[in-house]
Amino acid sequence: MRRFFVGCNIHFESELEKEIREFWPYLIELDGRPHAHALTILETVPGGLLLEAPLHIGLQINFFSKLANRVLLRVKEFKVRDFPKLFQTLQSLKKDPLLQNLKFNYQVSASESRLNNEKRLKEILLEVFGAETEDSEQSLFLRMHQDLCSLSLDSTGLHLHKRSQRTSQGAAPLRETLAAFCVRKLIGDEGIAFLQKFTLVDPMCGTGTLLREAATLYQPTLRHDFSFLQWAQTPKIFKSSQLRNNYPEFHPLFAGLKGLDRDEKSVERAQASLQALGHSSEISNEDLFKTTAKSEKLCWVIANPPYGERLKAEFTPRDL
């Protein structure tokens, strides 16, 4: 069993736990079949959850979580009060198979600790694990808090909110993690059968982030640049081009997606992005306050409206 720290935005912790419990049954064993491991959450702290799971189960959180920022594999956690002892312990960890043949960039933090010298802590990492490669996708995190040292290996790499692979964005972009949180709060505990009665409308859709997250909320994100895919210990099944076939196809949450925006370039980007997903969507270049109202029999509305400090907006929430 391994320990994983799943990081998230502050105050997202309870929703993150709910999300993990929802997708946990869909994770797979090394033979591609459903697993039977219980979800064991050891601790909830501001900014994330610490949980325990087999290596191949914990790594799959990267595929499914839409709220997490990154997934850290806890290599070791130990108490230490002096630098020689720290060096000795880290030296023994060099033999861990997960740390073999990797070049790292180092992330160091210290607080309320007798070893409250981040420069010296990094020097020890350099002595033990070798020179730093700043542009490496492999990050080794050392955190000292009081007398407790945590050494963690980043399994994620590029931040988990970067899953749309968008090459351009609008004037007021919304992070995918925030968009997913908003969609989850909108649907609450409603089931897909109920949601399929509605069209989801974003009247100020920009490049379509909210609609895109609604379309893919329960779909795995099988990026090719996750850090753990470069580890020698990573199971081969996760490197297979047929991996997606091991996960179920989830039905779209809504009957359709509809968006409008007054910026023509944003609309073009939204159209391209949603068409690539293969979901039913209608994106039009219209100004909400100038267009003729169009009747929707059953619709839910979600929006991230521009406001004064980001974009000039000549309306109030009541007008909207």
Six token digits for residue 39: 């979800």
Q: Could you tell me if 28 and 175 are in contact, meaning their C-beta atoms sit under 8 angstroms apart?
A: no
DSSP H or E segment with residue 49:
strand 48-53
Rounded-to-integer distance, Cα 15 and Cα 101, Å: 37
- Summarize pLDDT for 172-223 with one digit per residue, the tens: 678 999 999 999 999 999 999 999 999 999 999 999 999 999 999 999 999 8
pLDDT of 296 reads 66
Ramachandran bin of 5, using left for φ above 0, alpha for ψ from -120 to 50, beta for the remaining angles: beta
pLDDT of 290 reads 81
Task: Measure CA 194 to chain center.
Answer: 27
- Please tell me the pTM assigned to this model: 0.89
- Closest by CA to 222, choosing from 138, 152, 160, 154, is 160
Comparing 128-132, 169-173, 240-244, 290-294, which segment has the lowest mean pLDDT? 169-173
3-state secondary structure of 289: coil
pLDDT of 88 reads 94
Q: Distances from the Cα of 267 to the Cαs of 92, 204, 261, 284, in angstroms? A: 55, 10, 6, 7
Highest mean pLDDT out of 33-42, 90-99, 154-163, 248-257: 33-42
- For the segment 20-26, the average pLDDT, to the nearest whole number, is 96
Q: Is the pLDDT of residue 39 over 50?
A: yes
Rounded-to-integer distance, Cα 279 and Cα 281, Å: 6
Rg from Cα positions in the chain = 22
- Summarize pLDDT for 97-137 with one digit per residue, the tens: 888 888 999 999 998 888 888 999 999 999 999 998 888 88
Q: Could you tell me if 27 and 64 are in contact, meaning their C-beta atoms sit under 8 angstroms apart?
A: yes
For the chain, percent of residues with pLDDT exceeding 70: 91
Strands of 138-145's sheet in order across:
40-45, 48-53, 2-8, 68-79, 148-154, 138-145, 104-111
pLDDT of 287 reads 86
Residues 6+ apart with CB under 8 A from 224: none
3-state secondary structure of 17: helix
pLDDT of 279 reads 74
Q: Supply the DSSP symbol for 116.
A: -
